[in-house]
Structure 1
Amino acid sequence: MAGIEYLVFEDALRDEHARAVFERTVQAVNDGTARRVELSRGHGFETDGEKILGSALLEYALGLVPAAEFDATAAQAFAERMRRLFGWHDITFTLTQWVEQRLCAPYFGNRGNDWSPDWQLRDDVDVSHLPESFFEFACYVAVGELKHGPSYASVSANRIFDWVTKLGSSLPARLKKHGTGQLPKELAAFLGTGEAEGVTAKANDALATIKIAVKHENAASYAAVLGYLTRLLNTTDFPRSYALEFRGPTKQYLPVNKLPRKSVNQLFACAVGYPELWPAIAAYARAAMSEYDWYTNLEGENCAMPGTFAVFALGIAEAATGGTEFTPLVLDYLGEVDGEHQSLHGHFLAGYIEAHGFDETGLAYLLACAGNIQELQHRKIYPALVANERSLTALLTLRGVGEASGPSGVPALAATLRGEPSDDYAWRHALYAIWGSAAETRGADGRAGAKIIEGAEPGLRAFYEAIFA
């Protein structure tokens, strides 16, 4: 291709020399001697002075093998080596294209549309010749989407499972029942012992589901659950977006209005009742937190990043004791959560302020939320809660907090559209949450917050003037 200094897949089709270079590079990948190099557009390899685009090598290794000779185990091993070299995000398009070209395009028609596809087998197709190896590799790609892809890759995974099932294979059904078989037995199915007797846990890495049950309400039971979850996430490649389902003897939930009363809420509301388990709850939260991943059994306005309820539980419980050990964890969570698509952290913040007012910790949470959420709700009680020297001093101290890490997503875009620095937007967002529209009302001199300053107690007026300066 003109202007490109590396070989692409088409070069292997039309040029024997290029094909020989591809063959030697495939062998180097299999031998473990291939090394990733940077290209002018993307990443690839260099063999005998020739550069090759990485995705082109993967397409070559998979695409030129006849159906009768296709070895799913060898193809999976090669794809895994490529994943370790380049990451899943660099190979997923090539892999899913292979599935579409080999299993979808020749046999299916879309009776729906591009937005809502309905893939059905065409009446005139014969699928009896399809090898099981095709189904095995396609399901490997589907499971890879769940394990390594973004949360929305579950759509691609389920579509592949659907194609393979309609083509006559029982492999998706077996995977959905038993998982891939790659999880250690003690993590695929766990049974508590001793004081934790009655704890059961099952994890399915093909479905991305974790099902936990606790029979006896005691610290040992929840310690076993937390240890299990943390080991599962830290020692395996279990999907980062997953459904976490829980059954336990105590029906209680975190004391925050508008949080979904779901079983994952119940789990951490119960576990946090044992202070000796707080470090274990924090360890799970650290293992689970991942910005663009989700608890897949929570949807819409209830969507939540994994670790959400563990973090909220610690933030609420520790505040009741006056401690701050886990405040950095809460702040890290508020900075990492996908504020474009999640709003539950706004409810947590409101619950904290209602219980503890605008103390130093609550204001730190406010500024973190303001920089990473679409909208913070103003409440009528907030101006009175903040009207004291301690709160106003803490607010002024935190004014520059947004400079280290500006807001993400929609707030950052809004700042850009308004032509103001992102940290200024986060600060103004926080002020609006406290004082509502009065924070943006300007006086004759053009200063925002004029009404608030005018109505302030004389002893606090200097603080308000500094806040709205």
Structure 2
Amino acid sequence: MRLPKRDGVNGRYYLIHKPDTDAEVLEHADQCIQDVLNGTARENHADYPVVIRNEKGTPFLPNQILERYLYQLPLKEFPYEDAVVFCDAMRQLVGWVEVRYELEKYIEKQVQERYFIVGERDDGFTVFPPCTVCPELREEDVDDNLLRFACYVAVCHTVYGQSFESLTTEHIFGLVSQIRPDMVKELKANGSGKLPPEIRKRKTERMTASANDAFAVIRIAAKEDTQECYEEVLDYLCEVLEQEAFPDSYSVEFRGVEKIYLPIPGLPKKGINQLFACAVRYPKLHRKIERYARLAMKEFEFYNNISDEQCAMPGTFAVFALGLEGLEWQQLVCDYLELCDDEHSSVQEKFLHVYFKKFGFTDQTMPVLVSGVQSMQGFKPAREFRTLIANEESLNALLKIKEHLKDYLPEEAKRSKNASVYLWRDVIWGIWGKDSVNGGKKVMKAAPAHLREIYEQIFH
């Protein structure tokens, strides 16, 4: 038999959620499920939406294949291990973003709606409604493996999702803890169990440390203020981040002997700030600090224990510490700035103010300025910038950047005729602020006569 015509968008895939779906199409969908388990299914991200194909090439939407698999599972004696194997295979094949919504909705239907009375969100701000256990719920009505699967989904939201998905994690854990509090307590104590024992807990003469993937937290207590102690701490942090099971957004709770912080006014005085302010004092540790920073830096990820107003991408304090040590770390600083979430992150502005006050505006530091103004919205210059730039060497360094500005644009922006114009506007605003508008008339009026020609080239 020949399969019917595809009914997905632009004939790209088959839909299988309709009651009258062709029986042979459903057979191909079931074969796709088996091929996912066998490792022979294939995905295609070449167009939107993403599709998944069985061995015969029949295409389906990933969420519909996952939905078909999940809703065929029994809710009594739920096959937890089998479900986890399939969901992990799907995630690895098509990516977490393609499966997270279906998993969340499954828990909402099979756990939240079956075991709880769901209230109304009365404040308009909370993401999830209040839930209380159904008074008539009996012990025998609850399947522990289904709750274990709910915990698995909760952990996945933290491990593989973006930082805001931790809210879903908290909500699901809140549901499970009302019925099986010990299940959540075990996760709090030991995590999901995927981390090796020597990563979950470590104790030496110089420090104690633990990592919990389920709650995305690393706790470290340093017993000494020595190079050897900080070396152990940095090695441990890197080992944790090298674990696939550990989330990309997380908290670092550090307690040390010496209470010093990076010399950047306005930075949150958290333990992670203290750690790198202490460690950077030892030049032999600088490469290890860089290693941590490069493992940690990921776009749209954040330290979870820093407020939204001061949100910082993992690796932030390591980069700031090295960046202020010397110009040899300029590339690391630029790489960091290019990954910053320009819609939410602005803590880098505080660093850049100190950076240019220390190193000035030179051929070597100008790329940092260009990356910096692109790393956030509305970069505000420090008051001292117009004085620091007011010399022939610095102004000529700025002119050189103007000539090659297109090289600093993201690939997608290079095709725009006006992208370089807008970027240059942001760069000169990042030095002179509002005085840079109207052709920089205020700046040129105050400029020394011997530099006025260079100023004119900058503003025109």
TM-score relative to the length of structure 1: 0.89
Aligned with 2:166 (options 135, 149, 154) = 154
Amino acid at match of 2:174: D
Determine helix, strand or coil for the equivalent of 1:210. strand
Amino acid at match of 1:437: K
Give a deviation string over 1:338-376, Cα, whole Å, max 9, x none.
Answer: 121111110001112222332334433222111121222
Matches within 5 A, 1:54-453: 54-106=62-114, 107-113=116-122, 115-116=125-126, 117-121=128-132, 123=134, 125-126=136-137, 128=139, 129-192=141-204, 197-318=205-326, 324-400=327-403, 402-406=405-409, 421-440=418-437, 442=438, 448-453=439-444
Aligned to 1:23: 30
In structure 1, distance between residues paired with 2:101 and 2:187: 23
Report which stretch shifted further, 273-282 or 104-113.
Answer: 104-113
Quote the offset at 1:198 in angstroms.
1.9
Identical-pair percentage: 35
In structure 2, distance between residues paired with 1:92 and 1:104: 17
Quote the offset at 1:401 in angstroms.
5.6
Quote the offset at 1:20 in angstroms.
2.4
Contact 1:12–1:22 (8 Å) recurs in 2: no
Aligned to 1:463: 454
Quote the offset at 1:13 in angstroms.
7.5
Q: Structure 2 regions of 5+ residues with no counterpart?
A: 1-5
Quote the offset at 1:122 in angstroms.
5.8
In structure 1, distance between residues paired with 2:440 and 2:324: 32
Determine helix, strand or coil for the equivalent of 2:51. strand
Amino acid at match of 1:466: Q
Aligned to 2:42: 35
Quote the offset at 1:11 in angstroms.
5.0
Aligned to 2:17: 10
- Count the aligned residue pairs: 445
Give a deviation string over 1:102-160, Cα, whole Å, max 9, x none.
Answer: 01123331232453244222655425312111111111111011010011000111111
In structure 2, distance between residues paired with 1:161 and 1:400: 55
In structure 2, distance between residues paired with 1:256 and 1:362: 18
Give a deviation string over 1:433-466, Cα, whole Å, max 9, x none.
Answer: 32232211x3xxxxx0123223322221121011
In structure 1, distance between residues paired with 2:275 and 2:347: 17
Amino acid at match of 1:330: V
In structure 1, distance between residues paired with 2:28 and 2:211: 43
Contact 2:370–2:408 (8 Å) recurs in 1: no
Contact 1:13–1:19 (8 Å) recurs in 2: no
Give a deviation string over 1:175-228, Cα, whole Å, max 9, x none.
Answer: 012211111111111223xxxx22111000111000111111111111111111
Per the alignment, do residues 52 and 3 of structure 1 end up closer, same or farther by CA in structure 2, a change over 3 Å counting?
closer
Per the alignment, do residues 278 and 49 of structure 1 end up closer, same or farther by CA in structure 2, a change over 3 Å counting?
closer
In structure 1, distance between residues paired with 2:57 and 2:294: 44
Quote the offset at 1:404 in angstroms.
3.4
Give a deviation string over 1:381-407, Cα, whole Å, max 9, x none.
Answer: 322211101110111112256523547
Per the alignment, do residues 208 and 402 of structure 1 end up closer, same or farther by CA in structure 2, a change over 3 Å counting?
farther
In structure 2, distance between residues paired with 1:40 and 1:330: 35
